[in-house]
Amino acid sequence: MKQASLTLMGAALLAWSTAVSAANLFDWRYCIAPAPARHAIYLSPVFMSSAPMDTIENAFAHALENARVQYEAVQCPRGDAAAIGSMRQHAIDFNEQAGNRVVKLDWTP
């Protein structure tokens, strides 16, 4: 009985550890691309991804280019859900106050 309990506890601990490790492989992100000549910024929604940063930034840039959007650069910051949501909202507020048009795109990688 004691051996069975230890085996069950060990299995539960392994399952929990695997789930925590898998969750840590994903980052919360959003992408932003300023277009100063158009007085605009382009933003993606917040999303989770485990892809490398350059892969996501290239995919967002490709989507903008396919839509014929002229932009200066692409950034896709990462962090926990609360930090990313706050960063994205700060970018929106800052740009609206600066007189830039904020374009929220329906895009995820």
Q: Rounded distance, CA 6 to CA 69, Å?
A: 60
**Residue 45 pLDDT:** 97
Instruction: Please count the other Cβ atoms lying within 10 Å of the Cβ belonging to residue 48.
Output: 14
For the segment 35-47, what is each residue's pLDDT rounded down to a tens digit? 999 999 999 999 9
Give a yes or no: residue 40 inside a domain. Answer: yes
Give a yes or no: residue 20 inside a domain. Answer: no
Give a yes or no: residue 1 inside a domain. Answer: no
Give a yes or no: residue 87 inside a domain. Answer: yes
- Residue 4 φ/ψ, nearest 5 degrees: -65, -40
Query: 0.95 exceeded by the pTM?
Result: no
Average pLDDT, integer, range 82-96: 96
For the segment 60-70, what is each residue's pLDDT rounded down to a tens digit? 999 999 999 99
| Host domain of residue 82 | 27-104
The total domain count for the chain is 1
Joined together, the tokens standing for residue 4 give: 């069975």
Give a yes or no: residue 12 inside a domain. Answer: no
- Residue 93 φ/ψ, nearest 5 degrees: -60, -45
Give a yes or no: residue 91 inside a domain. Answer: yes
